[in-house]
């Protein structure tokens, strides 16, 4: 099971290694691994499992967005469907657009904000 986690997110979808068995390894099986490892003082495989599970959940859930601030690592929950979208505010204080995950840019559309950002990042056009 531990080697499956080296595959990344796909590792949490591991199946039984017995030939012709495709039963998925359950969360409770991962917890048993954690309990066995705790007696040795090592839980890194279970920690990896939790991290990959959280990553998979956030990638598949469109109501959860990662904070775009470099190094933040927190997520924000979208609680409304306002149009134009209200900004999401991370616990770190960063406000960002819930549609494009760029710095909040109301009243400018996401596509116009992206064009503006591209134009500003091209030093040749700023002269």
User: Between these two residues, 98 and 126, which has the higher pLDDT value?
Assistant: 98
pLDDT band at 53 (very low <50, low <70, confident <90, very high): confident
What Cα–Cα distance (Å) separates residue 19 from each residue in 6, 15, 23, 29, 30? 21, 11, 11, 19, 20
Q: Quick count: other Cβ atoms within 10 Å of Cβ 89?
A: 13
Query: Facing residues of 26 across strands?
Result: none
29-40 pLDDT per residue, tens? 878 877 777 766
pLDDT of residue 95: 92
| pTM for this model (two decimals) | 0.61
67-125 pLDDT per residue, tens? 989 999 888 888 877 666 678 899 999 999 988 888 888 888 889 988 888 888 776 55
């Amino acid at each position: 099971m531990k080697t499956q986690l080296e595959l990344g997110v796909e590792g949490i979808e591991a199946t039984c290694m017995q030939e012709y068995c495709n039963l998925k390894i359950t969360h409770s099986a991962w917890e048993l691994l954690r309990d066995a490892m705790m007696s040795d003082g090592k839980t890194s495989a279970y920690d990896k499992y939790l991290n990959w599970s959280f990553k998979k959940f956030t990638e598949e859930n469109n109501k959860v967005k990662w904070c775009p601030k470099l190094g933040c690592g927190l997520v924000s929950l979208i609680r409304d469907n306002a149009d134009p979208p209200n900004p999401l505010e991370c616990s770190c204080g960063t406000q960002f657009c819930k549609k494009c995950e760029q710095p909040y840019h109301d009243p400018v559309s996401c596509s116009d904000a992206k064009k503006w950002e591209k134009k500003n990042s091209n030093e040749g056009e700023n002269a």
